[in-house]
Amino acid sequence: MNLTIDDLLGHTWNFEFFVAAFLFGLGLATLGSGLFTAYFGAGKSQQIGFGLIVMAILVLGGQYHQTYIADPATLDATNFRYGLIAAIAAMVGMVAGMFVVLFILMKVDTVDDLEDLDLEDLEDLDLDEELKKLEEELADDDNGSEDTSSGDADEGGDEE
């Protein structure tokens, strides 16, 4: 039995659509991260954000040029539109997924809540060991300081 990729996918692979969707995804993601970095960044980060915006405009502008302006069009206008729709759908799905994760993180306040969600594997064992060591050191320091201060007659309490 000789299977080809067309048999597995059920339709022909359209590389031109892939390129259009890839370029739109790259352009939109770069534009979004550039806007975010330029707005919230300071100094060098803000300059990087502006550079990302310029790169996104060049990618999206080049794709538009190769589809509609170039004399022999490199990309088909139909694939251009479908690529845009696919890229926007992917971005909307990604944003929806980020909001789901954000919602869960906002609802989980403490480690006790994490235990209720059966996410006990998220606890860091190294941090637990360090915390136990610090507690033992503090307990040893407190025991040592109580022995030296027990000989004092008046520690500044109420006089009767």
Which residues does the chain have with pLDDT short of 50?
A: none
Global confidence as pTM: 0.53
* 136 & 59 share domain: no
* 94 & 136 share domain: no
pLDDT per residue over 42-76, tens digit each?
889 999 999 999 999 999 898 888 888 877 777 78
* 62 & 134 share domain: no
Q: Alpha carbon of 39 to those of 36, 44, 55, 75, 79: distances in Å?
A: 5, 12, 16, 33, 33
The domain of 27 spans 5-107
pLDDT per residue over 1-13, tens digit each?
566 666 666 666 6
